[in-house]
Amino acid sequence: MTKPIRWGILGAANFAEQHMAPAIHAASGAVLAGLATSSAEKAAGFQAFAPDLAVFDSYDALLADPGIDAVYIPLPNHLHVEWTLKALAAGKHVLTEKPIAMAEAEFDRLIAARDAAGRLAAEAYMIVHHPQWLRVRVLLAEGAIGRLIHVDGMFCYNNAAQTDNIRNRAETGGGGLRDIGVYTFGSARFVTGAEPERVSARLRLENGVDTFAHVSADFPGFTYNSVTSMRMFPNQRMTFHGDKGCMTLVTPFNANVFGQAELRLENSDMTVTSQRFPGVNQYVLQVEAFCDAARSGAPYACPLEFSRGTQRMIDMVFAAGTEI
């Protein structure tokens, strides 16, 4: 029997409690073994479904435990690089929330540390493990919509009332592009295997963070357009337009939260087919894929090199953006 990967979590973030900790607990080949938090109240929420969970009073204490094989890091964005490097230095595999870095140049240190440690380090980019995205990539490669001409993306929510939310604070690496732009940008890159050649953007800023971004880009052979916002009614959608058809994902990013994952394919013969993916938990799939890669050394769907490309596009948008 294969020995399970024993996981620890740095910090009792709400997202970790609601999504990733339950996913680690449920995943085959994984054990949720530790949580680093000084709050007994926050720890209780995790222990409700993982009663054997060990609680550490500091991040360093968890990293020093030889019984922890891998760590999940859901800390505020500006702490991701620091604690990813510390976890690698401690000999742990590391899965860090997106964005794993604040700028493309920081990936040099991350990749070097990963290679030196001989451990798997990756960004928690769960959508590449969801079968709807794998299906889109196959259909596009097979020519289901003919030649790809244009990609449209939309990902919005409204957290204007949450003034203390880390996404609304510049000092914690907030902003919509870092929080959700990674999805509209990265999903287009993942499906096509292409990188943007030019970008333009119109940004709306509040207190030093982007709350609205309209981005246009030229990729080799196709154009791209997206809107991300932290001040609009919740909505998400990705559409891939070809010369012979169109593919639309109605719940591309938050499957089972925003709605049911569904892929709609329209063809030139006026037929529309729909494929739904009920009950698929992309967080569990992510943990299982990570554990498999950590044990075997097999390629992982979202290596640091892929995440670096998404960060490069974010950097391009900030460099080219004009404020409105």
Residue 1 has pLDDT above 80, yes or no: no
**Cα distance between residue 28 and residue 16, in whole Å:** 18
Catalytic position from the list 42, 86, 98, 244: 98
**What residues contact residue 163 under an 8 Å CB cut-off, 6+ apart?**
none
Residue range 190-219, pLDDT digits in tens: 999 999 999 999 999 999 999 999 999 999
Residue range 145-199, pLDDT digits in tens: 999 999 999 999 999 999 999 999 999 999 999 999 999 999 999 999 999 999 9
Instruction: Band the pLDDT of 2: cuts 50, 70, 90.
Output: confident
- The CATH architecture annotation of domain 130-280+310-323 reads 2-Layer Sandwich (3.30)
Residue 242 has pLDDT above 80, yes or no: yes
Q: Does the annotation count 92 as an active-site position?
A: no
112, 144, 296 from 74: Cα distances, Å? 22, 38, 25
CATH 3.40.50.1370 fits domain 5-127+284-298: no
DSSP structure string for 298-321: ---SS-HHHHHHHHHHHHHHHHH-
Domain residues of the chain, as ranges?
5-127+284-298, 130-280+310-323
Say if CB 149 and CB 235 are below 8 A apart.
no
Global pTM exceeds 0.75: yes
